[in-house]
């Protein structure tokens, strides 16, 4: 069966000097499929838009900042994802440079600078460490978010089938 995904972008803005990451706490719209979770920033690609242009547009719309440094860290396919069981192809970026200052909130929710160590703790495979980080994320994020911040320069390319709200598996390779 052909894979016909929604194409999306996801970026993590990393303030290297302060070692913190900008996340959105999706708390503005109770009807949001991501309501109550924290995530990187991004969204759906528009028709006739490149992936790079799409992430720059999304970041500007969501934070008001202009990206000056951007690296593709990987791609992920999600199948049967979320309450609508959607198919997604996500391009995951890391940005370490931008112009402007993000506001405290946007239409999706509160924007929060989170220590990178806390974000990575929320991705731990140790349940107590994850709970102590107190960052409600999609359960599958803990598998790929550490790859966004590691020292391997090669992009990862992964697949993560979901059953609604729960990931079933995770497999990736780096090229």
Mean pLDDT by groups of 10 residues along the chain of 175 residues: 95 98 96 93 97 98 98 98 95 98 97 98 93 94 97 98 96 97
Kindly state whether residue 1 falls inside one of the protein's structural domains: no
Overall domain count for the chain: 1
Kindly state whether residue 60 falls inside one of the protein's structural domains: yes
Q: What is the largest CA-CA distance in the chain?
A: 47
Kindly state whether residue 95 falls inside one of the protein's structural domains: yes
pLDDT given at position 103: 98
Q: What is the CATH number of the domain that holds 61?
A: 3.90.79.10
Domain of 97, in residue numbers: 6-174
Q: What is the pTM of this model?
A: 0.96
Residues 77, 157: Cα–Cα separation, whole Å: 8
pLDDT given at position 33: 87
Kindly state whether residue 129 falls inside one of the protein's structural domains: yes
pLDDT given at position 158: 98
Distances (CA, A) of 110 to 1, 33, 100, 140, 144: 39, 16, 17, 22, 23
Kindly state whether residue 84 falls inside one of the protein's structural domains: yes
Phi/psi for 143 (5° steps) reads: -85, -40
For the record, the structure tokens of 27 come out as: 């708390």
């Amino acid at each position: 069966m052909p894979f016909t995904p929604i194409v999306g972008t996801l970026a993590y803005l990393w303030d290297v000097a302060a070692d913190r990451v900008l996340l959105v706490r999706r708390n503005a719209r109770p009807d949001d499929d991501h309501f109550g979770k924290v995530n990187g920033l991004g969204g759906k690609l528009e028709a006739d838009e490149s992936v790079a242009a799409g992430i720059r547009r999304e970041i500007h719309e969501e934070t008001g900042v202009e990206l000056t440094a951007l690296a593709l860290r990987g791609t992920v396919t999600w199948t049967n994802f979320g309450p609508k069981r959607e198919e997604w192809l996500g391009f995951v970026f890391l940005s370490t440079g931008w112009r402007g200052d993000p506001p405290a909130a946007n239409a999706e929710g509160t924007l929060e600078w989170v220590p990178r160590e806390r974000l990575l703790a929320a991705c731990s495979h140790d349940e107590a460490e994850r709970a102590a980080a107190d960052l409600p994320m999609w359960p599958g994020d803990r598998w790929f978010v550490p790859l966004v911040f590691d020292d391997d320069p090669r992009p990862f390319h992964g697949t993560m089938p979901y059953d609604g709200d729960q990931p079933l598996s995770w497999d990736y390779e780096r090229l």
